Every structure is written in C-alpha cells, then in structure tokens.
Amino acid sequence: MDLKQSNKILRQFAELVKKQQIARPVSSKEQLKVGIDLGTSSIVLAVLDQYDVPLYGAFQYADVVRDGIVVNYIESVKIVKELKKQAEKQLGVELVSASGAIPPGTGENAEKVVANVINDAGFIAKAIIDEPTAAARFLQLEEGSVVDIGGGTTGISNFKKAEEITVFDEPTGGYHMSLVLSGAKKIPVSEAEVLKRETKDEKEIFGIIRPVVEKMASIAKQYVPLNQETPIFLVGGATNFEDFVPTFSKVMGHSILRPDYPQFVTPLGIAMFD
C-alpha cells in the first residue's frame, strides 16, 4: 500500500468516526476484525471486514493509561464495553473477538493487562502486539521505520524485508507535552491536554512544547537507521501539529512522512491482527 492509498483509507475511517456511521450493511455471517487502542488520552475502537476495509470506528477521551501502562483498570473496561455496545448497535451484529496493543518493551505484564481489559469488556482477546508494528501492518511497510508518538511513550520499530528487526520504546510522549504546557500556562494538566488540541492557538502552543518534540526526535535518531533510501513514518495523535514534521525532520536530518489522521494508523493496524 502506498501512502496515497493509506491516506484515502484513513480519511474514510475518520469520516466514519466523525459521523458515527457504518460504511455499509453487515451480514451476521461475515468475519469482522476489531482493534482496541488503549491510549493515554483516548480509547479507539476500529472495525474492519475480512478484507481489512474499515466498517466502523469510534473513540472516547479517557485518562486511564500512563506511559503505556493501564492505571485505571475498571474505567478502561467500562469504556471498552460502551464502545463495543455502540458498535454492535450500529452494525447490527455481535463483535466476538478483538486485538490490542502495547508500547514496545513494556513487558509481559502490560500485555496481560490489556488482554484482560479486552476480555472483561466482552471480547475474546486474539492478539496483543506492539504499537509501531501495528502501524507498520496498516502501512504495509517492508523497509523502513515507524516512530509512534503515543500519549506516554515514543515507540520505534525498524523493518527489513517485511520483518521487524529492532524495536525500542522511551517514556516521552504527548502527556509530557501536556506537562510542559501545564507548567508554562500555570493550568492543570487536564486543561493543558484540552488546550493542546486547540488549532486556533497552535503556533503559540507548539512554541512551548517544541523542546519535547525535539527530545522525541533525538530519541528516534538514536534508534532509527538513517538510510536516506528507506522511509520513516511518524504516527500518533500527538504529531498533529503543523510544525511537528519539519521540527522532527530537522533534528533527525532525514525526511519524515506523516499519514493523514495519524491517530488512526495504529488502531487500524491493531484490528488487522484480529
């Protein structure tokens, strides 16, 4: 899949999420795939058909994860249950299984917790993979790297001949951007998280959080093979700032590709593993 085709699918999925509609009627005989992305600032549910075409999507803002670790288990299960119920109502069929993801390197316990959240929400947990690998699956990346800026971590996966050769994770992400913004504006972190999404003040906000973005790029530079012939994809909702890619690219000394709606790349990839 080339980036143009990836962007087309992402735009279609974003429209489904926005309108809370299904792409087409669904038969009870179809084998649907579900992805659950437990993020630091939101939980995303993605439903695909057997050919990996998006059918439905939804998300809910949440404060249940810190640095890739579930810190509010009960609330996580509650939200996933609600998203499952909404999806089943729209689709008119029961959703049986789902896959999830964790930041790379967070350990077997984190994997078990995410699986338990999915199971306790009424799904059968099929697979738990690392987030950059899920993103690479959606992008059909054979050679290159994925840098996944999550709410609490920066995850990096490097690929060669369609095989993951190295994977890394460092605890710096969107939440740390909110912490810096909170300190600069002297407001609670929860308010900073909301302010971070405001597009009208984007230039000012990015000026404040730029050092965090530069740190993320420095982290990625340590772990990504800087071969100018292989692409580097940047994904994750925290990357949505207009100046994010130019800043990241400057620090890394390498051109960077960011898909449209980067916050939905990983959830769609997660669903492909179901």
CA count, 13 A, side-chain hemisphere, 225: 15
Residue 1 has pLDDT above 70, yes or no: no
Record the tokens describing residue 70, joined without a space.
């579930």
- Look at residue 229 and tell me whether its pLDDT is greater than 80: no
> What is the predicted pLDDT for the residue at 150?
80
pLDDT digits (tens, 9 = 90+) for 3-33: 899 999 999 999 999 999 999 999 988 999 9
Compare 153 and 45 and report the one with higher pLDDT: 45
Of 64-78, 85-99, 130-144, 180-194, where does the model show the most confidence? 85-99
pLDDT recorded at residue 67: 63
The per-residue pLDDT for range 163-191, each reduced to its tens digit, is: 888 888 888 888 889 899 999 999 998 88
- C-alpha count within 13 angstroms, C-beta hemisphere, residue 103: 26
pLDDT at 174: 85
At 22 the pLDDT is 95
CA distance 81 to 49: 20
Q: How confident is the model at residue 105 (pLDDT cuts 50, 70, 90)?
A: confident
Q: Compute CA 21 distance to the chain's CA centroid, rounded to the nearest angstrom.
A: 21
CA 154 to CA 103: how far, in whole Å?
Answer: 8
The model's pTM is 0.91
pLDDT, tens only, 65-82:
776 677 788 889 999 999
pLDDT score of 146 more than 70? yes
